[in-house]
Structure 1
């Protein structure tokens, strides 16, 4: 099989993955597309939504459709770093310490309600997310490939939570908003449950592997060949620099954020069947890629200004290359 044929097969498989996930999760097509982009870019995802909008079900379904290993960690105030990374355990039979791997050693880690655990435990994920390894007792241990963290948080409940610091937020490639379903979508959800759908039994719902880690690898290689014109690169830089001078913003997007927008735009262009990036690709991914990298001024927040509205204003004013 040629490289081109392999890339086309990967694109077909990943498109089928989005359709497979729709069998159990209704009305979240943009979120599913965001997860596929994150997998292609080897990036991590922060899912934000109120309880009951199928955030956990979404991750489990993606893992089942992609045929990769997944583990779930429920973050709580008493969770310790070793509960995530693993730790050295004394073996009385051999009188030696051996490493017991934690749940982070997986392909798709669901960090459920990540903001419910203290910063000490949150920081246990930093090395894993950035270096794709875990160091215990001075020994680095590589994580499997692919490795993606999908963390969830509730946007309306703040009691007993520990907001993620900017340094950790910046390590998430995308922040995806899982919204409440529209009326027709909610009717479809209820109809499925009335017909016997069990979210705990995905196999019974007919969900099975439609893509593999090999498809992901081929997709990543193809995304790396997607062309981006100097004018579009300049457009990405102009958008990111505009966040740093906006009167509503206290801390704008860093160069890491600009690099992330470049990566996600290329992945979206490839998924859309093109081998080049357009300004529309940048516009489509600017919100999910940059919204969590902007810190608003307190007075702007008091006036009800949000990161998304700031980005919309910037995209409307920054000149688009022709």
Structure 2
């Protein structure tokens, strides 16, 4: 029987400012899974009293960002005027559209003490018609996310829709982002609820797929979402990402995503020149910014 596991992506280290993350997407053999373009696994990290997360104001276009924490806290500020602390289980959903700027830092009340930080940073592409839309931001508390249990299996729908369930995160295309937890070994066949493409990330524990065992720090990409079936070990936490892919190719440079390279070139020029009409300042965090990186190549 032919395997449904089309690709196993090993988590690789990457830097975001003074913080190390495990980058899952993009990967040279797989640029996206459904509309998901970029997935970073932050931590787990224990930051001492003199260590803090400090990602100064930086721009985005043509995508939505999704932040989801397992541990710790991040204070988000953006050029729309939002200033929000995100804690574990909540969702920050920011749609950049034609352009937005934001910063992510350790909250002031935690900066002089030890703390943990662990979570996901995710980029989701926008449909072509919305790539130049007005930017927006939504914060969704953890209590608003759908959770349910089936035969000892705990589910949480963090974003998107699956059969009979819908999360309040205002996504722009058909997608799903699901947390699954088991305390005992379980057989799970969820393929009949999924659509498009799907990838699995095991945060804790391990899964067995078609006779092979996979653990943490790997992203499994399935050939067909409809064949998504697996077994977990006793205590396992995993995440399924996926949905319908776009018809058009998406180009990526740094924090910019678009189906038109000319739009990316203009964004690069605007950010390099600090054009505040294209990329306004972030209220309350106006002293710093992340410069345009070199070399200027597309991914």
| TM-score band w.r.t. shorter chain | under 0.3
Work out which of the two has the higher radius of gyration on C-alpha atoms and give 1 or 2.
Answer: 1
Task: Give the structure-2-normalised TM-score.
Answer: 0.26
Q: Which has the higher helix share?
A: 1
Q: Which has the higher strand share?
A: 2
